[in-house]
Structure 1
Amino acid sequence: MPFVPEQTISYPALAARLAALPPSCGPVRLVAVDGPSGAGKSTFAPLLAAALAEHAGGAVPLVRSDDFRVPWDADPLTWWEPLRAAVLEPLSRGVPGRLRRYDWRTGSTGPEEEVPAAPALVVEGVGAAWRGSPAACRIWVDAPRELRRARALARDGADWADAWEGWSEREARHFAADRTRDRADLLVDGARVAAPGIRATGVQGPFMDRSKN
């Protein structure tokens, strides 16, 4: 894949480029944010969704793999079929999806929410950018393994260290078999996703250019 050199791009500039892409799921541009556990996806995705909403002048929904029940020992794509049935299939027809978000801390689901057929939808989680995703853009977020592990254990608790190690192995096998990173349109440095400027590498063409943002 012909990548342009590393550059820094702001969230508003990235949102503008994403908004210029053709729809990929009915009238919706699905922006898939993928990468290993602890990489920074859950920080990056809401910042990107907010920038997209500001650009569009209206809400841009964000759906995460964590909104579905995916046990630690499960296939990383366990959440994809429920996502497809509840959200993606309706959106592909131009009608709103319906979602009841799962709370893994309480083991319960929340009230039904409408997922509108907005100009964009951000989908975040391991498997979001897999080969079967109807993504307009695939974004890969990554960070050094020790940083990822530290973040995950700070989030989930040290008691889950063994479970995280097992999950890390399963997601690595999934990414290797799917070649997710190889197909990414944008590679993001997850060590600094909270910064105003995103450090990224992207493919040649209309999505990324050599200008500074």
Structure 2
Amino acid sequence: MEVGDVARRLSDSDGRTVLIDGRSGSGKTTLAIELHRVWGSSTVVRLDDIYPGWDGLAWAVDHIRTELLHPRSQGRPGRWRGWDWTTNAPAGWHVVEPGQRLIVEGVGALAGPNRALADLGIWVDTDDDERKRRALQRDGDTYRPHWERWAAQEVEYIATYQPRAQADWIVTETPESRVWTAGEVERVHRRRREE
């Protein structure tokens, strides 16, 4: 499986919404950018632009469901509110039309209630040491004092929603390669197609 294969499957099925989840530094953004390039005209929504500060993971999970994904599933425009990390205050609203291709990437994207409103879910796994190295290399001293605080929210989110189990595909990132493995959701789809 490659990103191009995913894009073709989405196009063939007229898929419109993809959720990419995984812990901080796992490679979600890179995968979302690649899918965006291959899939064509799509909007990428980064949860990093939505979380209302360092304690906002749970809020963002609910926000994207109620404001973005649910309205789109009903044929209405969805929207999301940004967060200005510089002023530590809410920023403007952004609209995503129901027929527009959408990629939502970030920790919290693949919660069960959110997955039910999307066409495809991807969980990205990467070794913990590598994740931390990447995240701190990317965000440096801005993120360093908040690493443990954010990681605790990730652990709680994973325990509550078990997002990996909601994934069609598990992508394992290593320094040498990216390995795609069918998740439980994809295996169920395959069994149904074979019946």
Question: So what's the TM-score if we normalise by structure 2?
Answer: 0.80
Query: Where does the alignment leave 5 or more consecutive residues of structure 1 unmatched?
Result: 1-8, 24-28, 54-58, 208-213
Task: Please give the per-residue CA displacement for 1:153-212, whole angstroms capped at 9, x wherever unaligned.
Answer: 11222353231122112202221232211232101123469x7xx4210133559xxxxx
For the 8 Å contact 1:96–1:117, the answer to whether it is kept is: yes
Aligned-partner SS, 2:129 = helix
- Amino acid paired to 2:3: Y
Q: Which residue in the other structure is 1:79 paired with?
A: 60
Give how far 1:108 is off.
5.9
Counterpart of 1:67 in structure 2: which amino acid? D
Alignment of 1:106-121 (within 5 A): 106-107=87-88, 112-118=93-99, 120-121=101-102
Answer yes or no: is the 8 Å Cα contact 1:32–1:122 preserved in 2: yes
For 1:5, the equivalent position in structure 2 comes to none
The whole-number CA distance in structure 2 between the counterparts of 1:30 and 1:192 is 28
Counterpart of 2:71 (choices 90, 97, 100) is 90
Query: Which of 201, 204, 208 in structure 1 is aligned with 2:181?
Result: 201
Could you say which residue in structure 2 is the equivalent of 1:36? Answer: 23
Deviation, structure 1 residue 93: 2.8
**Between the two proteins, what is the percent identity of the paired residues?**
34
SS at match of 1:199: strand
2:11 maps to 1:11: no
- Whichever structure has more helix as a proportion of its residues is 2
Any idea what SS the aligned residue of 1:200 has?
strand
Moved more, 29-38 or 94-103: 94-103
Conserved in 2, the CA contact under 8 Å of 1:21 and 1:136? no
Map of 2:48 onto structure 1? 66
Larger RCO (alpha carbons 8 Å, 6+ apart): 1
Unaligned runs of 5+ in 2: none
Tell me the residue number matched to 1:211.
Answer: none
RMSD of the alignment, in Å?
2.7
Q: Alignment partner of 1:50: what SS?
A: helix
1:160 partnered with 2:160: no
Shift of 1:136: 1.8
Residue type of the partner of 1:16? Answer: R
Aligned counterparts of 1:206 and 1:22: Cα–Cα separation in 2: 18
- How far does residue 85 in structure 1 lie from its aligned partner after superposition? 4.0
SS at match of 1:148: helix
Q: Which secondary structure state, in structure 1, belongs to the residue aligned with residue 110 of structure 2?
A: coil
Sort the Cα spacing of 1:175 and 1:65 in 2 relative to 1 into closer, same or farther, 3 A: same
From 129, 132, 150, the equivalent of 1:146 is: 129
Relative to structure 1, the CA distance from residue 148 to residue 170 in structure 2 (aligned partners, 3 Å threshold; closer, same or farther) is same
